[in-house]
Amino acid sequence: MIHLEDIHSLTDFARNTKAYGKKMKKTGRPVVLTVNGRAEFIVQDAQTYQHLLNMASYTEESIKLDQAIKEMDAGTFHTEKEAMSVLGIKAKKTTVVK
């Protein structure tokens, strides 16, 4: 969520970059930068950005898993051989050890 106190001009950000960097690290919140009164950029510290990427990746994988479960429940799924064929992957020979 963007807070009003986190909206600043690009000019002010350029003049006080260190102070903004410290504030972003402390709060974990991004800063919205404006040009001529309009939002143009969002700046965020690297650690918080990485956390955001991780959450997005987790969500994406969860959606894929949910879809796969729905397909499996509906009986519309591929066997391993069919899936490999669809993906254009050649099966490797495996040796079974007893």
DSSP 5-35: GGEEEHHHHHHTHHHHHHHHHHH---EEEEE
CB-based contact 9:43 (threshold 8 Å): no
Residue 86 token pair? 């669809």
Q: What pLDDT is attached to residue 69?
A: 86
Q: What is the pLDDT of residue 95?
A: 65
Domain shared by 79 and 52, yes or no: yes
Residue 98 lies in a domain: no
pLDDT at 6: 93
- Check pLDDT > 90 for residue 1: no
Say whether both 53 and 80 belong to one domain.
Answer: yes
pTM of the model: 0.61
| Same domain, yes or no: 8 and 32 | yes
Pick from 11, 12, 13: which is nearest to 43 by CA?
A: 13
Answer yes or no: is 97 within a domain. no
18-32: average pLDDT: 94
Q: Which residue type, as a one-letter code, is found at position 76?
A: T
Give residue-wise pLDDT tens across range 41-96: 999 999 999 999 999 999 999 998 888 888 888 888 777 777 777 777 776 766 66
If asked whether residues 12 and 38 sit together in one domain, one would say: yes
How much is the pLDDT for 74? Answer: 86
**Domain of 65, in residue numbers:** 48-87
How many distinct structural domains can be found in the chain? Answer: 2
